[in-house]
């Protein structure tokens, strides 16, 4: 199977650094039946740079607001290493966009999540290969978190994630052609299948070595263990995530979430719920790590459009 990743969707395709190629060449990639493509391991020099220099700063404890329980590392990974890691992950991970249906005023409305995503670990959200054609469960990732009727867009022939626009102009063209292409390219969860919101009924996708490595660094810095890795890619200022809490029941009672930002500056806001009054830190800086503890039950967070 020839390899195709998010980078293949960029015009012109970003040049990958020689370092990644030369260092990765002798290290076999991770493969798994649930992966649509082999996933490269981190080049040795990058692994070493991360190990030696992370965390780059001590954590700040952020607990000045009610129910705020947050550690903030800024930076977590030094900028040049973080930038290389960002390019590596963007080039190597099999991203897709989640499309799902939610009831709005009793009517099923299609929601196109405005970001690229990929998940590994304990999650029911991915249907690759044959499973795609018989899917009975849904992704947990949704703007309203209800997990019902989720759809992942794939090319039906190749099962690769579908090409998505990365520029405003492409987005406009895509919007015009969406009506024609959606039917051919999306895979719908059958109506009336029971919601999988509170259980996970599918084989976990193993966490690939490159993310496992990152997870280990985050675990030792935060003195916590994690069982799931979700990577979001915000391809432009139009991509975002709405206010939500990562409080699905299958995550446990007080899930700890670590959020690592790489690449460009994007605001990360927290607010208490309810009443919805803006509060807490508004971290803007890339290469940072935020670890939120028991606050999931009590706080929302988002990345706004810019
Ligand atoms: O971009 C981020 O750091 C937030 C992502 C997020 O909150 C989520 O996917 O649940
Ligand atoms: Fe979240």
* CA dist., res. 151 & res. 157, Å (int): 17
Between the CA of 104 and the centroid of ligand 1 the distance, in Å, is 23
Residues with C-beta less than 6 Å from any ligand 1 atom: 230, 232, 241, 246, 259, 268, 301, 303
Identify which ligand lies nearest to the alpha carbon of 290: 1
Ligand 1 atom with minimal separation from the 246 CA: 10
Among 259, 280, 290, 304, say which to mutate for ligand 1: greatest number of ligand atoms within 8 Å of CB: 259
pLDDT tens digit string along 151-168? Answer: 444 443 444 444 333 344
Ligand 1 atom with minimal separation from the 234 CA: 1
Place of tokens 């959200």: 125
Between the CA of 172 and the centroid of ligand 1 the distance, in Å, is 26
Amino acid 174: pLDDT: 37
* CA dist., res. 241 & res. 231, Å (int): 12
pLDDT top residue among 87 and 178: 87
Q: Does residue 244 have a known ligand-binding role?
A: yes
Q: Does residue 234 have a known ligand-binding role?
A: yes
Amino acid 246: pLDDT: 83
Q: Tell me, what's the ipTM?
A: 0.97
pLDDT tens digit string along 20-45? Answer: 444 555 799 999 888 889 999 999 99
Amino acid 197: pLDDT: 39
Identify which ligand lies nearest to the alpha carbon of 142: 1
* CA dist., res. 292 & res. 257, Å (int): 5
* CA dist., res. 170 & res. 259, Å (int): 29
pLDDT top residue among 4 and 119: 119
Token pair of 259 as six digits = 């959020």
Among 232, 288, 291, say which to mutate for ligand 1: greatest number of ligand atoms within 8 Å of CB: 232
* CA dist., res. 233 & res. 250, Å (int): 24
* CA dist., res. 248 & res. 290, Å (int): 20
């Amino acid at each position: 199977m020839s390899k195709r990743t998010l980078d293949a969707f960029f015009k012109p395709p970003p040049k990958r650094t020689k370092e990644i190629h030369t260092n990765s060449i002798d290290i076999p990639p991770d493969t798994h039946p649930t992966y649509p493509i082999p996933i490269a391991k981190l080049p040795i020099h990058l692994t070493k740079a991360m190990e030696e220099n992370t965390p780059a700063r001590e954590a700040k404890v952020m607990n000045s607001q009610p129910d705020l329980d947050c550690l903030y590392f800024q930076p977590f990974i030094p900028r040049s290493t973080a930038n290389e890691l960002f390019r590596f992950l963007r080039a190597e991970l099999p991203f897709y966009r989640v499309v799902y249906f939610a009831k709005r005023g009793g009517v099923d409305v299609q929601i196109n999540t405005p970001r690229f995503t990929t998940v590994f670990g304990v999650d029911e959200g991915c249907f690759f290969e044959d499973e795609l054609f018989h899917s009975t469960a849904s992704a947990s990732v949704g703007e309203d978190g209800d997990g019902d009727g989720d759809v992942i867009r794939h090319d039906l022939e190749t099962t690769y994630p579908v090409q998505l626009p990365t520029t405003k102009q492409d987005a406009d063209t895509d919007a015009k052609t969406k009506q024609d292409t959606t039917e051919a390219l999306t895979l719908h969860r059958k109506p009336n299948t029971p919601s999988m919101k509170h259980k996970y009924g599918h084989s976990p996708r193993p966490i690939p070595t490159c993310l496992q490595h990152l997870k280990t660094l985050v675990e030792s810095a935060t003195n916590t263990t994690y069982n799931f890795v979700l990577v979001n890619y915000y391809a432009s200022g139009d991509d975002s995530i709405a206010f939500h809490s990562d409080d699905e029941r299958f995550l446990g009672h007080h899930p700890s979430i670590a959020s690592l930002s790489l690449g460009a500056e994007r605001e990360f806001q927290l607010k208490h719920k309810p009443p919805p009054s803006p509060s807490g830190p508004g971290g803007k800086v890339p290469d940072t790590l935020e670890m939120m503890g028991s606050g999931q039950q009590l706080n929302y967070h988002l990345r706004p459009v810019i």
